[in-house]
Amino acid sequence: MKMENQFVLAIKKFAKSESFAGILLLCCALLAMIVANSPLAEGYAQLWKSKIGFDINGTFIGMSLEHWINDVLMAFFFLVVGLEIKREVLFGELAGFKRAALPVIAALGGMVGPGIIYYTLNMGTNSADGFGIPMATDIAFALGVLATLGKRVSISVKVFLVSLAVADDLGAIIIIAVAYSQGLSFGWLAVAAGIVCVLILLNKMGVKRLAPYMILGVFLWIAVHNCGIHATIAAVVLAFTIPVTPKIDTMSFMEKAKLVIGHFQEADKNKENILLQNEQLEALHHFAKHKNDVQNPLVRLEHALAPYSSFLIMPIFAFANAGVTIGDNINFSIDHIFLGILCGLVIGKPLGIFTFTFLAEKFGIAARPKGMTWTEVFGAGALGGIGFTMSIFVTNLAFKGEDAVMATDVAKISILIASLTAGILGSLFFILRDKATHHH
């Protein structure tokens, strides 16, 4: 029995750890690859094409499972990303120009470097549009690798990499909105803009309940989906309108809580049995209400959604998108997609991040966090080359034309190979640096 309990505890502890989300992602991606290259391959491919929706008088309303995952489920992922960005900009590592300057400039370098490498290799070909693929950094994966490195990586490196990944996500979102949107429908764009105005108005009027925001968010998603911009952008815009200030401040919460607890104790004195009295139940109810009122709505929503995003949505996305059947269809010589993604993520990322950080410090725009060495900046840049979720997301939007399916398959395999390479090289870099510093 004792063994079993320890095992359960160990699993629970692991599931709560930072590395779990990244490892789960990797497992789902590998599982997808295994299934796609097994006798189940055809079923796997058919599964994502199957339509889900309903018929109204002969008109089908719905989408393929693949679209449900990539457009609807991923909207929640982007909502969490948007909330993270807003929180970091207001209170976190991206608050204030001096603090935000470094991760933002580093992220910019980490996008420019890979983008230029990919574009130079694929200029003038059908695949040139894939320049956005190696620009992304996968925050869950990078954190997973960092967590497995443990004490070898200082806190400042973790903070630098996380804030860089958050800034990088914002960059990826802008690129998806600008470079990977089809012909715009201005009618729907106007509708979307109107909904955004209502959301901002709600925020300004001090509406703290999350329900109205979420309901409007659904309509915003529909409007954006129909106007030609990728629908997940709606989730990011929604996140930026979620209010930050709680309904009541901590002082008034403490006052109210004292009153409620006072009532609870009073009711307890004239109690005969172990059941709670009506007054006590009412007191608890009030307490729960105040508890919600004192919480910041943005953080409350982020805490509610983040576990679903990390442990459900991203793994499902990975399982649906990483499975590529490797056969005659994989033509690594399509333009230079493979080279562009591999060199972009493995070489372009650390070079771009390092160069931009270096220049930013030399020109006095930003400074490195205390105690963070240049080798650590380079190591963090190497880990920044893990571009899994966002890169695959961009791949699904990037290629057009008759080779699109083959190009997408090659790109996905390239992302897996490049991300693994970047993760391994980045880890080795920190392990060797750790050994070197211990010897001296």
Task: Give the pair of three-digit tokens for residue 434.
Answer: 């750790």
The span from the CA of 410 to the CA of 20, in Å, is 28
Is there a contact between 422 and 382 (Cβ–Cβ < 8 Å)? yes
The span from the CA of 267 to the CA of 277, in Å, is 7
Q: What H or E segment, with its residue span, contains residue 56?
A: strand 51-56
Is there a contact between 338 and 332 (Cβ–Cβ < 8 Å)? yes
How many Cβ atoms from other residues are within 10 Å of residue 115's Cβ?
Answer: 20
The span from the CA of 301 to the CA of 368, in Å, is 32
Bigger pLDDT: 246 or 338?
Answer: 338
Residue 216 has pLDDT above 80, yes or no: yes
The span from the CA of 204 to the CA of 194, in Å, is 15
pLDDT, tens digit, 9 for 90 and up, residues 235-294: 999 999 999 877 666 676 677 777 777 766 766 666 666 666 676 677 677 667 766 666
How many Cβ atoms from other residues are within 10 Å of residue 341's Cβ?
Answer: 32
Is there a contact between 388 and 318 (Cβ–Cβ < 8 Å)? yes
Phi, psi (rounded to 5 degrees) for 331:
-115, 95
Q: How many residues does the structure list for the chain? A: 440
Distances (CA, A) of 88 to 65, 82, 164, 244, 310: 33, 10, 11, 12, 18
Is there a contact between 235 and 75 (Cβ–Cβ < 8 Å)? yes
The per-residue pLDDT for 1 is 57
Least confident among 17-26, 218-227, 357-366 = 17-26
Residue 9 has pLDDT above 70, yes or no: yes
User: By percentage, how much of the chain surpasses pLDDT 70?
Assistant: 90
Bigger pLDDT: 256 or 404?
Answer: 404
Task: Give the pair of three-digit tokens for residue 53.
Answer: 């929706």
pLDDT, tens digit, 9 for 90 and up, residues 308-335: 998 899 999 999 998 988 876 677 777 8
The span from the CA of 350 to the CA of 347, in Å, is 6
Nearest to 292 by CA among 206, 209, 203, 204: 209
Range 351-375 average pLDDT:
90
Q: Is the entire prediction scored with pTM above 0.75? A: yes
Alpha-helical segments (H) within 228-249: 232-241
The per-residue pLDDT for 275 is 62
Instruction: Report how many helices (DSSP H) and strands (DSSP E) the chain contains, helices first.
Output: 20, 2
CB neighbour list of residue 385: distance below 8 Å, 6 or more residues apart: 137, 345, 346, 348, 349, 350, 418, 419, 421, 422, 423, 425, 426
The span from the CA of 190 to the CA of 193, in Å, is 5
Q: What H or E segment, with its residue span, contains residue 60?
A: strand 59-64
Counting beta carbons within 10 angstroms of the beta carbon of residue 11, is it exposed (0 to 12), middle (13 to 18) or buried (19 or more)? exposed
The per-residue pLDDT for 420 is 92
pLDDT, tens digit, 9 for 90 and up, residues 87-134: 988 888 888 887 889 999 999 999 999 999 999 999 988 889 999 999
Range 394-410 average pLDDT:
88
In this structure, the strands spanning 59-64 and 51-56 are: antiparallel
The per-residue pLDDT for 18 is 64
The mean predicted confidence, pLDDT, of the chain is 87
The per-residue pLDDT for 270 is 65
Q: Which residue has the tokens 């609807």?
A: 72
CA contacts within 13 A on the Cβ side of 259: 10
Select the highest-mean-pLDDT range: 125-129, 299-303, 357-361: 357-361
Extended strands (E) in 126-260:
none
CB neighbour list of residue 211: distance below 8 Å, 6 or more residues apart: none
